[in-house]
Amino acid sequence: MYLFFCLRALGIGIVSVFLTACFNAQSGSLIHSTDYSKPTFDLSEVTSFDVTGNNGKIHALVAGKFTKKDSRVAVRYLSSDDGGAHWTTAINVVNDANLIAVRGNDIQIAGAGTNLVAIWQTTGELPNMGPMVTYYSHDSGITWHAGSNPAVDNNGDQSHIDMIVDAKGVFHVVWLADPEENGYQSLRYARSLDGGEHWQASLKLDDSTCSCCWNTLAVSPAGVLSVLYRDMKPRDMALMQSSDQGVTWRHAGMVGDFKWQFDGCPHVGGGLAVVDEDTLYSTVWTGVEDRAGLYTLRSGNNGKRWSAPQALGGLASHSDIAANKQRVVGVWDERGPDGSSIFSAQSQDGGISWSTPTRLSSAGIMATHPRITLTSHGFLAMWTEKQSKQPGQWVVKILE
């Protein structure tokens, strides 16, 4: 099912939905659905989003502007109980002229039971650089309240946030910051035990990281935390882990040991999926000479060692990955002569072999930064796309 939420710059924000069917080239089966809905954003353009799953429900946070001339950025919350086929009417969380909501430095949401936490970066003294802001809800998103900043300072540059909640209801957040003003970003972490109202003292996980790539948190069924991030030297993706709910951390190693020596900012993070206590899947991008591109890897011993990288796409970059036992699905964007498209590939044998990539988005548009999440109804792929001279759109596609 292809849910195409096209936000038009009208006063009431009309959302139009187109339903199509997608053919799975690997299995020959038709992926389709007869049910779809029209989520109400009342936004003229979507600039950022995040989703999280909890007990069969999908929670979504969408950011954008009500009108083209609006100086404020609105953050709105909605949810789905059926894997993305139907959505609730959006609830406004906040309107903020200082809010930073861009792809690659996205707003974040996590939920456990009736507790939800939202977090994003705001502009401070310098443009596009500033502190984090949090909001929490204890009634499943009906009402929202301002929370505290997880960082030790409330005026620094705190970017590329990711957040997750474990089975015990503890919220965990990581971000990049330089509160000591050493001239380089470091990976920071904090946790909340009261549903996002307060945060315990933050920790520094890595002294020096790449300053422009997003971080990815994942948690195992037993509560082992993993964060995938881009290291400084080399500029490869690294894995940090905690087995005691974030009290202590250890460097688990590199995810794709490309030994890429680079002094610039690639602006590309990675994807991470945890299936059980031993099995992890990841997508990573590297710019190393003669091997530049997007790769997928598998670990069968909780990140201690990884399989040889398998190339996924040609000019691919931004990616995500999700898994359900032996079935693994990767999504990514890839530039071509007619724009940037979203592609997907699947593995039915735990990442050993992969299907031929299938394009999910329409041709001739700029589609970027896909996400994928496992739901109770299958896999849900999402991205933002923009046609020429049109506002940004949020696109959702169910892969059953």
Checking if the pLDDT of 374 tops 90, the result is: yes
- CA quadruple 250, 53, 382, 31: dihedral, nearest 10: 120
Checking if the pLDDT of 146 tops 90, the result is: yes
Average pLDDT of the residues in 161-166: 98
The amino acid at 181: E
pLDDT score of 397: 92
Checking if the pLDDT of 230 tops 50, the result is: yes
pLDDT score of 42: 79
Q: How far is CA 148 from CA 138, 168, 205, 214, in A?
A: 15, 21, 21, 22
pLDDT score of 376: 87
The amino acid at 193: L
Residue 332, strand partner residues = 319, 343
Q: How confident is the model at residue 313 (pLDDT cuts 50, 70, 90)?
A: confident
* Domains, in order of start, for the chain: 46-207 (2.120.10.10)
Q: Of 170, 191, 218, 215, give the one whose Cα is nearest residue 373.
A: 218
Q: How confident is the model at residue 147 (pLDDT cuts 50, 70, 90)?
A: very high
The amino acid at 377: H
The mean-pLDDT minimum among 17-31, 37-51, 319-333, 339-353 falls in 17-31
- Dist CA 93 CA 266 (whole Å): 32
- Dist CA 322 CA 310 (whole Å): 16
Q: How confident is the model at residue 39 (pLDDT cuts 50, 70, 90)?
A: low
Q: How confident is the model at residue 40 (pLDDT cuts 50, 70, 90)?
A: low
Q: Of 94, 92, 90, 82, give the one whose Cα is nearest residue 40.
A: 90
Say how many C-beta atoms besides its own lie within 10 A of residue 290's C-beta: 4
Q: What is the pLDDT of residues 83-130, one digit of tens each?
A: 998 899 999 999 999 999 999 999 999 999 999 999 999 998 888 899
Q: What's the CA angle centered on 124, arms 123 and 125, to 5 degrees? A: 130
- Dist CA 119 CA 223 (whole Å): 22
Q: What is the pLDDT of residues 168-212, one digit of tens each?
A: 999 999 999 998 888 889 999 999 999 999 999 999 999 999 999
Q: Do the bridges between strand 115-122 and strand 99-100 make them parallel or antiparallel, or are there none, so unpaired? A: antiparallel
Q: Of 48, 163, 65, 158, give the one whose Cα is nearest residue 116.
A: 163
Average pLDDT of the residues in 257-263: 94
- Dist CA 9 CA 29 (whole Å): 37
Q: How confident is the model at residue 5 (pLDDT cuts 50, 70, 90)?
A: very low
